[in-house]
Structure 1
Amino acid sequence: MHTLDYITAGKDLLGSGKALIMVHGRGGSAEDILSLADALPVEDFALFAPKAAAHSWYPYSFMAPIQQNEPWLTGALHVLKQLVTDINVQGVTNENIYFVGFSQGACLTLEFVARNATRYGGVAAFTGGLIGDRLYPHHYTGDFGGTPIFIGTSDPDPHVPVSRVHDSTALLEKMNAAVTERIYPGMGHTITNSEITDAAQAVFAPAALKK
């Protein structure tokens, strides 16, 4: 099972006042996802990258019946909850907490923020959607208060159907998120420079305006 274990980089949290939680994908690592920060405009952020046990947040597809991915999914969501709480305790409000995830990490990130919707700084989900064999609206509570959320994916993608991305976008918008959805024909299961540019504009440009 997962425990709260993470690595950090970037600015000191107390000095920056802004946190970016970066969630790696299946088979990836905290170090891998932290390297993505080099391509994003987050030089003045404190960076946090939690580690999944055995490099996987849950064992089966994100579109498997939810119970098949338990208790790992609940444990993974709890890790993110603990990390957000730890950041809050250090004086940083949710409005100054941002999230980035790739693949399985993008799915987990979207699932976490939707189950704990409030005004976050922003969310960038590189190839992901809400988790389950179908969407379960009763799992999701709160109001995003206009939180900018970017969701990008390839068409096609071997793991994430575009239809699930569309459905996730619609649900998040109903919860008052400002969603930017981008579908990239033939991109493959990866992150491209174009996608990074789009995500930076959608999620982190508003942060720059707060300086």
Structure 2
Amino acid sequence: MSELRKSGLPLEQAKKAIILIHGRGATAESILSLSSYLNLTDYAILAPQANGNSWYPFGFMASDEGNKTTLERSLGVIAAAREELLAAGIPDERIFFLGFSQGACLSLEFAARHATRFGGVVAFTGGLVGEKLQPEKYSGDFRDTPIFIGSSDRDFHVPAKRINESAELLRTMGADVTVQLYDDPDHTIRAEEINWVNQKIFL
């Protein structure tokens, strides 16, 4: 079973919660450190740790077969974290997801497979997972859930074309999607992205 790190308010005190999902080669601890830059003072914060520091072995647009088993297991880890929040009395509309890079892809993929009115989804450099997009994999209605996707306009790992295609698919499922592509080559989280989500999502 994947380790689950916790920070912020205890579940029994929190009215809102966020699941932070780290990138490839990173740790739950590293993504938790991001929380100090976000408006999360009244949130319970959960950060699962991927086995071997990776949520799936290959790129997010690689062969579906290559990633399938590990991806399904990783989606199960996120599902378990969400179930823990629901069991604590925190409803989906006050549950948020945030990930960077591989974690951003996993955040979007999980949300799209369980679309409902969530508090919000923040994907710092990510898109939906798969060799090609398969709308039939996804179901539900986001009911205006705010989703933010920010990235370089020429990121080496995550093509802007897949980001835009993912955004369009999420919009067809009822999400309120904002895409911000930045004129730089950096695979990183920018201050502008932090400021945007603090002002628009973590209110």
Q: TM-score, normalised by structure 2?
A: 0.98
- TM-superposed deviation, 1:195: 1.3
- How far apart, CA to CA, are the structure 2 residues paired with 1:203 and 1:74? 28
Please say if 1:153 is aligned against 2:148. no
Matched letter for residue 97 of structure 1? I
Alignment-derived partner of residue 112 in structure 1: 110
What does residue 189 of structure 2 align with? 191
Return 5+ residue gaps in structure 2 as ranges.
Answer: none
Residue deviations 1:17-70, cap 9 Å, x none?
A: 111100000000000000111111111101000000000000000001211102
Residue identity in the other structure for 2:53: H
Q: Which residue of 2 aligns with 1:133?
A: 131
Aligned positions of 1:1-211 closer than 5 A: 3-205=1-203
- 1:98 is displaced (CA, Å) by 0.5
Instruction: Count how many residue pairs are aligned between Structure 1 and Structure 2.
Output: 203
Say whether the 8 Å CA contact 2:152–2:184 is kept in structure 1: yes
1:154 deviates by 0.3
Deviation at 1:4, TM superposition (A): 3.4
Measured in 1, the distance between the counterparts of 2:135 and 2:73 equals: 20
CA distance in 2, matches of 1:4, 1:28: 14
Q: Tell me if the contact between 2:2 and 2:51 (Cα under 8 Å) persists in the aligned partners.
A: no
Equivalent position amino acid for 1:200 in 2:
N
Identity of aligned residues (%): 47
Structure 1 residue 187 displacement after superposition: 4.7
Q: Which amino acid is 1:115 matched to? A: R
What SS does the corresponding residue of 1:14 show, helix, strand or coil? coil
Question: Where has structure 1 moved over 4 Å in runs of 4 or more?
Answer: none
CA distance, structure 2, for counterparts of residue 202 and residue 177 of structure 1: 14
- Provide structure 1 residue ranges, at least 5 long, that are not aligned to the other structure: 206-211
Query: Are the equivalent residues in 2 in contact too, given 1:180–1:202 (CA < 8 A)?
Result: no
Letter in 2 for 1:176: G
Residue number in structure 2 paired with 1:209:
none
Measure how far apart 1:198 and its partner are. 1.5
Instruction: Return the alpha-carbon distance in structure 2 between the equivalents of residues 76 and 145 of structure 1.
Output: 25
**Partner SS, residue 199 of structure 2:** helix
Distance 2:37 2:138 in 1: 31
Please tell me the root mean square deviation across aligned C-alpha atoms, in Å: 0.9
| Rounded Cα–Cα distance in structure 2 between residues aligned with 1:203 and 1:173 | 17
Q: Is the 8 A contact 1:29 1:51 kept in 2?
A: yes
Matched letter for residue 140 of structure 1: Y
CA–CA distance in structure 2, aligned partners of residues 177 and 161 of structure 1: 21
- What SS does the aligned partner of 1:81 have? helix
Partner SS, residue 39 of structure 2: coil
